[in-house]
Structure formats: C-alpha cells, structure tokens
Amino acid sequence: MTSASAFPEVYLARLWSSGYLFGKTLSTDAGDPVEIHHPGSENRSNGPDFLDATLLIGNRPVTGHVEFHVQSEDWFTHHHPADPAYQSCILHVSWYNLPGYTSVPAGTRKQIPHLTLSRFLTFQDLLSLLTVEDKLNFTRKTPCEGRIRLVSAAAIRAWTAELGHQSLIGKVNRYANRLKQLTANPVYLKGKRYVWDQMLFEGLFRALGYPSNTTRFERLSRELPVTDWPDLTEGSGEVLLAEWLFLAGLERDPEFEPGFPDLIRPEILRRGPVFHAGDWKTKSVRAANQPEKRLKAAAELTGRFYHTGFLKPLILTLDACMNMALRSEKIVPELMALLTPSGDGEARIGKERREAILFNTWLPVLYLYAREFRRTDLQDLILTLCDVWPHRQEIALDQSLRQIFGLQERTYTLHWGLLNLHQNWCLQKKCLDCRIGQEIRKEL
C-alpha cells in the first residue's frame, strides 16, 4: 500500500489537473494567497511538469510553468536551480516541506514561490480524490453533475433541506449579533420592544433596497431608528417620509412635495443629509424600485405600525393562527397582509418583495425572538412555513441547480439549501464531505 512518506509524484499532477483545487483558498508558504485560473498543460517531455499555467499570486496575475515534487528538497536534488528550463517557473509545489522553504532559487537572481499542499488536505483526502477524480468532474462548478442518478431523490432532498435550515439559522445568528449590539446601546434601555422593532425595521429597509441600494437603505434605517421617530398622533407616515427623503438627499425629487420641509424636525435639519442624490443607484432600476418609490411605500407601511411597533402584530398574528389551528398555507397570507401598505396604492410593494421581506428578514428575527424567549412552538411553526411555502422568484441559478439535482419543489427551505450547497460545497469542492458525494462514492 502506498504510504504518505513515499508516493508517486504523478499523484500531485493528477490532483493539480483534476480541478479540485480550483477556487480553493490556497497560499504560498510566505503567506501570499494563490488562486488557480488555469492549471496549464501537462508536460510530457523534459522540464517543468505543467506549462503556461495562469495563477493569481498575492493578487497579481502571473503566467508560467509549475513544478511538482513530493519532497521540497527535490528541487535541489534534481539540480533545477541551474537548469534554464526552470527559470520560467512561477510556482514550486510539494507535498512535504521539512526544511520550511518559502521560495526556491532559479538561476542566480530569481526566487520561485513555494506552496506546500499538505497544509490544505490530508494524505487520505488525496487518495480519496484520486479514486473519484475520473468520476467527479472537478472542473465543473457542480462536480457531481452527470452522476446524480446514482443518488436517491429522498437523500438529495433531505440533505438540501438540512442545508436550507442551516442557512436560516445563519440568518438568525446574524441578527443575534445585531441584537447584542443593540442591547449594549443605552438608547434602547427604555424598552425591550424597541430592540426587536429596530431589527424588524432594519430588515424591512434592507429588503426594500435589494439589490442595488441594500446597504444605503440599511444605513438610513440606522440613522433614524425607531427610538428617534417623531412623536405624533397622526400623519406619522408622511412625516417619516419627509425625514427619510431629506436624510437620503432626495428632497428635490418630485416625490418631495412642497410642504414636506415644514414637517421635518429642526434637529434633523441641523444634522443634514446622510447621502447625496448621486449616491443612489438608479440606472437599470425599474421605476417601482427607485429609492423614492420604495421610501414612500415604506412610509405608508410603517404608518400602520407606528403606535404598535412591528413585533406585537406579528406575534399576535402567529399566536392567533396557532390557536385557530390554521394550516401553514393559510398563515403566510395573514402575515403577508401585514406587509401591504395602506394608502392610495401609488406606492406598492410587490408580492415577491413582500415574500422576500417576510422570509429573509422578518421570520429570522421572529425565530430569534422565539429562541430567546423559549417559544419552541413558534420556532417549529417558522421552520414549517419555510418548508412548505413556495419560493416564487425566478432566479437563473436556482432553476439550474434544481434541474441538476432533480428537485421539483420550490420551497424557501430548498431554495436556501441549494444556494448553500452550491456556494459552500460545490464551489469549494467539498465532495468528500458532502452527503451526495459520499453516496456517489459508495455506488462507484
């Protein structure tokens, strides 16, 4: 049996050409990041092992040859420093580097960066990869494409659903970090409700800004938090719109009616705008999604929650639905109704955007609330809603992945799971740890 201390150099060449390392986070022994853009062509003659590879080393694109050895000392044992054929090398790769080289010489003036592969995978990983590299096409973004038929539909769905739940919990944990920041802020000590309302408010604005103005909308929600909203008994939506447009630098927009400046509080006027009109991305953005239209829709929607806050109506709605034993398919419309702005209908939030607000921001915040207050019934209900409600938005990547993995359902859980699988498993070539890859290995 081949041992880790003595194995053929061709193993490393097969690994390099397989595509498994493409997109991997690699670095030289000096600490410079390395990305493989093209492995080069394998050299069947004398000289470096791979010719004309294209790499990104230390964020600098380089093209040249790559040489492999099991032991880093073999660069010297094979007399490469004095061989002109190796002076065009851009990288020396070895499995072991006992001397601890960070570079090796080529000629009298050039130093070749050194990369030790055993820093990034084990010898058992190497052997496992070599047994499947002709079965899993690592040069593809989805290496197992073409072999999915070897895995049962039930196994694929179960793994994707688990990854979808992981993605939801990832959203929840990001809000948990925000919760720590808010509870550490003395401004929010006057009422716990304000912390949850602020997170729901930030989530609403972030989703309304998607995809072109996400960070600007989120910052705007933090510049005028719920604790700093004007204290008025009526017309609050109009006042908030005036102040949002002013802070956004959009007060000259036609949406900013002539009487609006009189509605803005003096302290907001003294503060001045946070943005300029030119800061907002408006090109190639549909008229309904322009920032001023989104802000008007947000003002009409927020007017509904001005006195109750965002959290209370949501929790009461969920509790009422559970008490009435409503089916999951009936609960989502009840929640969606809370996201329909009141008003003349000029400022609308489309159904897909309302669903995105609910599932990507408000439900994760509510799940965090349920976790903090040990409402396992609410946690279970939110997971169920994500498991059954269809994800309607047409996304090319989502459609491609569902076709590859043979998933016909379009729930939010499976949508998140497919994106998780693609981003964190397929692109990272974690086939040896992925349950789909493991099932394929069993069948081959």
**How many whole angstroms separate alpha carbon 115 and alpha carbon 102?**
8
Distance in angstroms (rounded) separating the CA atoms of residues 209 and 215:
7
Bond before 291 cis per omega within 30 degrees: no
Tokens 């309304």, located at residue: 208
Q: Treating both helix axes as pointing N-terminal to C-terminal, what angle do 214-223 and 236-247 enclose, rounded to 10 degrees?
A: 120
Q: Give the list of residues 6+ apart from residue 416 with CB closer than 8 angstroms, or none.
A: 163, 164, 167, 168, 386
Residue 210: per-residue pLDDT:
85
Neighbours of 96 (CB within 10 A): 16
Q: Confirm if 50 and 65 have CB atoms less than 8 A apart.
A: yes
* Cα–Cα distance, 98 to 42 (Å, whole number): 27
Task: Give pLDDT, residue 238.
Answer: 82
Report yes or no: 226 and 309 within 8 Å, Cβ to Cβ.
yes
> Low-confidence residues of the chain, pLDDT below 70?
1-5, 134-135, 189-193, 232-236, 252-261, 342-347, 444
Nearest CA among 308, 310, 286 for reference residue 298: 310
Q: How far apart are CA 309 and CA 327, in angstroms?
A: 26
**What are 138's strand-pairing partners?**
none
Query: b or e along 47-75 (b: 16 or more beta carbons within 10 Å of the residue's beta carbon)?
Result: bbbbebbebebeeeeeebbbbbbbbbbbb
pTM, two decimals, is 0.78
Are 50 and 66 a contacting pair, CB within 8 Å?
yes
Q: Look at residue 58 in the predicted model and tell me its pLDDT.
A: 93
Helix (H, G, I), strand (E, B) or coil at 375: coil
String of DSSP letters for 200-214: HHHHHHHHHHTTTSH
Q: How many CA atoms lie within 13 A of 8 on its CB side?
A: 8
Name the residue among 311, 363, 312, 336 with its Cα closest to residue 171.
Answer: 363
383 vs 411: CA distance, rounded Å = 11
Q: What is the pLDDT of residue 3?
A: 47
Which 8-state DSSP code applies to residue 215? H
Token pair listed for 237: 């939506």
111 to 81, 87, 106, 194, 211: CA distances (angstroms): 9, 9, 6, 60, 45
Question: Distance between CA atoms of 160 and 215, rounded to whole angstroms?
Answer: 29
Give the dihedral sign, CA 285/289/293/299.
negative
Contact 116, 98 (CB under 8 A): no
Question: CA triplet 59, 39, 66: central angle to 5 degrees?
Answer: 80
Nearest to 101 by CA among 121, 119, 124: 119
Q: Which DSSP state fits 189?
A: G
How far apart CA 135 and CA 431 sit, in angstroms, is 11
| Contact of 137 with 148, CB cutoff 8 Å | no
Tokens 């509510």 belong to 366
